[in-house]
Structure 1
Amino acid sequence: MDIEKYRVPVKSEIKLKSYPTSEDKKKDNDDIRDNVIPGLVSELKELHLKLHAEEKKGILVVLQALDAAGKDETISYIFSNLNAQGLKTTSFKKPSDEESKHDYMWRLHDGLPARGEIGILNRSYYEEVIVTRVHNLIKDFHVPDDKKKEEIWDVRYRQINNYEQYLHENGFHVVKFFFNMSKDEQRERLLERMKDPKKNWEFSFNDVKEREYWNEYQQTFEHMLNQTSTSHSPWYILPADDEWHARRLVSEIMISVLQEISPEFPEITGEDKETLKEYIKKLEDEKNEEVPE
C-alpha cells in the first residue's frame, strides 16, 4: 500500500475535496478484517513491544474527525491489541472550568506518552483551532497583546507546529490521522446509532446539531491540514467511509513510523549477563533439589 499518497505535503495548499472519502473498499470489509488486519496488528504489536522494552522513544498519535468517523473503532480494533502497559488513551472533550483557566495546550500534558509508550489522543489540542474557530469561541484574553483577533489562528498554528517539533526533537514522534468522512456516510452511521438500542449510548444530540456547520468544519479542516502538516509531524487523510480500509491504513502507517524508529529489545551485557547466567543456573538447580517430606 502506498501510504505516502495519504500524507499531506509540507507547506501545501491541498483541497480536502481532492481526497476521497471512499476508495470503494467497503466491499472488501470482510477480507480486510479477517485476512489483512490480523497480520498487520501482529507486526505492530511486536514493534510496539520493542518500543516499550527499549524505553528510548515515544509516539503521540492524534485522531481527529467529526463524530462517527471511526476514531473510537480504530482504538478498539487496532490499538487495543497492543501491550496495555505501553499504551495510554486520552479523550478530549469540552474544557473543564479548571482547564479553561490555563493556556489551551495545558490539558495536553496528561495525555503525553512516556518513553516506550504510544499515547493516543481521541480528539486533541487541535480542537482549539477547529471547534473554537467554527463556533467563534475566542475571547479577547486569548489573543496575544500584539495581535489582532483575526490573527489568532495563524498564531496557534505556529505554536502547535513549534510544540510538535519540540516533542520530536526530544524523542517523541507525532503522527496525526484525519478521518475524511462524507456527509452521507455520517448520516447513515448516526441513524444506525439512533435506531439501534444497543448503540444509543454512542449517540449525542449534539452530533446532529453540529451537522449544521458541515461546510464550516470542512473549510476549517482544510486550513488546519495545510498549516500544520510538517516533515516531523505529518497529517494523513484517511478515506473514512471505508471503515476497515481506514483501519488498515492506520496500521500500516504506524508500522512505518515504528520501523523508522527501529526499536530493539535491550541486550544484557557485562556483569549483568554473568549474573543472569548465575540466576538461570540457580533456578534450574532447584529441579534437582530434594523436596523435604
Structure 2
Amino acid sequence: MTSDDYKATEQLQLSKLATLLKKSPSKKKAEKELDKVRRDLAHFQARLYAHDRHAILVCFQGMDTSGKDSLIREVFKDFNVRGVVQHSFKVPTNIELSQGYLWRHYIALPSKGHFGIFNRTHYENVLVTRVHPDYLMAENLPGFDSPEKATEDFWQMRYQQINNFEKELVENGTFIFKFFLHLSKEEQKSRLLRRLNTPEKNWKFSKDDLKERKLWENYMHCYEQAIRHTNTDIAPWHIIPADDKPVARLLVAKILLETLSQFKEIQAPQLNDEVSGNINEYIKALENE
C-alpha cells in the first residue's frame, strides 16, 4: 500500500468506501509490523526535535468508538514525551466561546521540533455544529440571531477559513496530516455494546452516544462535505478503514512514516568544526577522570 491509496477525492462518498480491508493482516502480524514502524517514527521525531525547523500536526476525526484514543496511544507510544503534545477538544468553555472558534486550536499548535496531536479537531466546528446548528448560538456571532442563519454560504465561509488556517501553518513550517477513521454503523453498535457489557468500560458510555447514533446519516453527510471542501494538496485527508483497530493503527503509522521519510533535510545539526575536530580529546579527558 501507499498513502495515496487512502487519500480522499473530490467526489468522496463514504458509503462506497470500505470500513474493513478485504485482505487484512492478522492482529499479531499487524501489531508486530506496527512495533517496527513506530520505532522508525520515534527516530524521525528525535531528528525533528534536533532539526528544530518544522512541526508536525496530526489530526484525527471519527465517530464515537472509532478508536481515536487507542490509536494515538499505540502509534505514538515510543515517542519521547517532551517532543509530542496531545490535545482533545471537548465542548468549548466560556472563555473559548468568547474568542473566534479557531482560537483554542491556534494556542494548542505544536512548536517547531514537536509533534502535535489533535484528538477531535478544528473540524468539530463544521461537523457537530452543522448537525446541531443551535450550538452556534453560544458563539455570539454578529448578526447570527437564530440557527437558521447557518446557511450553505455560512459553511462555505468556514471551510475557507479552515483552509486559510491550514495554509498559514504549512507556509510557516508545519506539516499537516488529517485522518478520518471510517467506522461502520454495525461496528459502532458492537463497540457500544462492549462498553455496556464490560463493567470496567461502563464509564466510557453516555446516553448521548445513542442520541448521536440516531443522526448517523446526517453526520456522514457533514463529514463528506467537510472533507471534500478542505482536502487540499498541502493538507490532504486520508480515509482509514477503522473496523479493525490493529490494522487502522498500522495504516496511520505507515502513512506517517512514508510521507515523513521524504523530508531528507530533517536531520540533526552538524557539530561545529571545533567540537568535531576534538572529539577524541573529549573522550580521552572523560575516560582519564
Q: Normalising by the residue count of structure 2, what TM-score does the alignment of the two structures yield? A: 0.91
**Shift, 1:84, TM fit:** 1.0
SS for the counterpart of 1:248 is helix
Aligned residue in 1 for 2:217: 215
Superposed CA RMSD in Å reads 1.8
Deviates more, 1:136-145 or 1:190-199: 136-145
Extract unaligned runs of 5+ from structure 2: none
Alignment partners' CA distance in 2, 1:50 and 1:254: 15
Match status 1:283 vs 2:286 = yes
Alignment partners' CA distance in 1, 2:207 and 2:29: 34
Alignment partners' CA distance in 1, 2:20 and 2:116: 28
Given that 1:7 and 1:235 are in contact with CA atoms closer than 8 Å, whether structure 2 keeps it comes out as yes
Q: Number of matched residues? A: 281
Alignment of 1:10-21 (within 5 A): 12-21=10-19
**Shift, 1:133, TM fit:** 0.5
Q: Render the CA deviation track for 1:73-117: whole Å, top value 9, x for unaligned.
A: 111111122111110000000001110100000101232111111
Aligned residue in 1 for 2:195: 193
Aligned residue in 2 for 1:110: 107
Code of the residue aligned with 1:138 in structure 2: it is L
**Shift, 1:272, TM fit:** 3.7
Please identify the structure whose Cα radius of gyration is greater. Answer: 1
Q: Render the CA deviation track for 1:223-275: whole Å, top value 9, x for unaligned.
A: 01100010000100000102111111100111023213232122102234346
**Are the structure 2 counterparts of residues 67 and 115 from structure 1 closer, same or farther at C-alpha, using a change threshold of 3 Å?**
same
Given that 1:190 and 1:203 are in contact with CA atoms closer than 8 Å, whether structure 2 keeps it comes out as yes
Alignment partners' CA distance in 2, 1:25 and 1:191: 26
Given that 1:25 and 1:245 are in contact with CA atoms closer than 8 Å, whether structure 2 keeps it comes out as no
Match status 1:203 vs 2:200 = no
Extract unaligned runs of 5+ from structure 1: 287-293
Aligned residue in 1 for 2:141: 142
**Are the structure 2 counterparts of residues 39 and 144 from structure 1 closer, same or farther at C-alpha, using a change threshold of 3 Å?**
farther
Code of the residue aligned with 1:2 in structure 2: it is T
Given that 1:225 and 1:235 are in contact with CA atoms closer than 8 Å, whether structure 2 keeps it comes out as yes
Alignment of 1:27-42 (within 5 A): 28-33=26-31, 35-42=32-39
Aligned residue in 1 for 2:243: 241
Alignment partners' CA distance in 2, 1:184 and 1:32: 23
Given that 2:2 and 2:255 are in contact with CA atoms closer than 8 Å, whether structure 1 keeps it comes out as no
Give the share of equivalent positions with the same residue, in percent.
37
Aligned residue in 2 for 1:22: 20
Code of the residue aligned with 1:236 in structure 2: it is H
Given that 1:57 and 1:261 are in contact with CA atoms closer than 8 Å, whether structure 2 keeps it comes out as no
Code of the residue aligned with 1:96 in structure 2: it is T
Code of the residue aligned with 1:265 in structure 2: it is A
Q: Normalising by the residue count of structure 1, what TM-score does the alignment of the two structures yield? A: 0.90
